[in-house]
Chains A and B, each alone.
Chain A
């Protein structure tokens, strides 16, 4: 299975820029997607196919990467962005998720 590795946690101050990384154990082309999940809620799609902004998602969120290395960037970070962010690949079966990066605001 394709293993997706994310750093477990990050802490940033409001107004700063933050980059959340996701590294795949094998190539996934551009089929990497990013989700935001707040406690008690279902995941929300932010970015699909590496760099495409999902409908209704603020332009503060952006995605980049291809192959095995991907990045979700939030610039500027706002207080409401406190959440856990998951990457997911859909190039290889089975689909897999990263372990999630918990973003905290200072």
Chain B
């Protein structure tokens, strides 16, 4: 069945870089788009960007200067890297294939 699972550090220091991995199973990254969405505690959802099935990427313009999404199709993994983290980047980060979502990973930005 289709599954997505996020992994990465739970704590990141301010000004540092966040690196997250989304490991997928049950489908091919060369057939479906995978998106990253984040949610600050107690707040709404923000679309961050996507890795298209053909390897192209799209980013939220508000994050574009800090964000990079890549993939390794041989490992069924999609990667998110975002630099210059600040406290308002704290939240739960999800990878999703529209109807299918990972459980999310909580990232706290704090010294």
Our count of residue pairs bridging A and B at CB distance below 8 angstroms stands at: 43
State whether B101 touches A43 (Cβ < 8 A).
yes
Answer yes or no: B15 CB below 8 A from chain A CBs: no
A residues contacting the other copy or chain, number (CB 8 A): 20
Q: Which residue of B lies closest to A43 (CB)?
A: B101
Answer yes or no: B46 CB below 8 A from chain A CBs: yes
State whether B102 touches A86 (Cβ < 8 A).
no
Find residues 58-106 in chain A having any chain B CB closer than 8 Å to their own CB.
86, 88, 93-100
Q: Which residue of A lies closest to B94 (CB)?
A: A42
State whether B98 touches A98 (Cβ < 8 A).
no
* Minimum C-beta distance from B40 to chain A (A): 12
Answer yes or no: B91 CB below 8 A from chain A CBs: no
Complex formed: what's the CA distance from A88 to B96 in Å? 13
* Minimum C-beta distance from A14 to chain B (A): 26
State whether B44 touches A55 (Cβ < 8 A).
no
Find residues 30-61 in chain B having any chain A CB closer than 8 Å to their own CB.
35, 37, 44-47, 49-50, 58-61
Residues of A within 8 A of B49 (CB): 94
